[in-house]
Amino acid sequence: MREVDVRELEINPFTLIGRDWLVLAAGDESGCNGMTVSWGHLGCLWSPNRPTAIAYVRESRYTKEFMDKSELFTLSLISDRKALGYLGSHSGRNEDKFAGAGVKPLYIDGTAAVEGAKLIFVCRKLYAAPLDMNAFADKKIPATDYANGDPHTMYVGEIIKAYTE
C-alpha cells in the first residue's frame, strides 16, 4: 500500500460509499470487527484543511462496541462483493466474520483495516453522538428509518492517513 494525500485522490464519494460500499472497522490485534457501510460522508470539518469521514452505526452493531472503545477507525474499499455482502449480513458477535467473509484484517497504524483493500482511510475519532430523533426536520425519516428504534450513532473522524494499492 502507498500512502497518499487525500487531496490527490480522484474519487466520487457518492459512488464510493453508496454504490461500491466500504468496510468500517475498528480494533487491533487484540480484537477487531468490521461491517459493510453504505451510508457516510467525506468532506472537511472544523477546518477547511481537516479532511473528515463520517460513519453512521446502529446501536445493535457489534462494530459499535469497537467504535466506542477505540481512538481510531478505518474505512476500506474492497472489490470482493461477496465478502461485502457477508460482512453486511453477519455479526462478529457470533463468529470470526472476517474469516467467514474470506478476508483478513490488516493491522495498520495501530488499528485494523482489510487486507487487499484498494483504498483505506485511517481516521481519528473526533466526535460521536447518537442521532437525536427530535431534531429531524423531516419527520418521515424517524417514522420510517427508526420505527423499530436502533438509532444510528454518528462518528466523525479526521482522516489522518490514506492508502491506495
Ligand X SMILES: Cc1cc2nc3c(=O)[nH]c(=O)nc-3n(C[C@H](O)[C@H](O)[C@H](O)COP(=O)(O)O)c2cc1C
Residues that bind ligand X (CB under 6 A): 21, 33, 35-39, 56-58, 61-63, 88-93, 97
CB of 37 to ligand X, least distance (A): 4
User: Residue 67: enclosing H or E segment and its boundaries?
Assistant: helix 62-69
**Nearer Cβ to ligand X, position 15 or 49?**
15
The CA distances from residue 91 to 10, 96, 122, 140, 153, in Å, are 32, 9, 22, 29, 18
CB of 107 to ligand X, least distance (A): 18
**Nearer Cβ to ligand X, position 4 or 60?**
60
**Nearer Cβ to ligand X, position 21 or 121?**
21
Query: Which residue lies nearest ligand X, judged by its C-beta?
Result: 88
CB of 2 to ligand X, least distance (A): 27
Rounded Cα distance, 39 and 130, in Å: 15
Rounded Cα distance, 132 and 136, in Å: 7
3-state helix, strand, coil split of the chain in percent (to 5) is 25, 40, 35
Rounded Cα distance, 74 and 67, in Å: 10
CB of 52 to ligand X, least distance (A): 16
**Nearer Cβ to ligand X, position 97 or 161?**
97
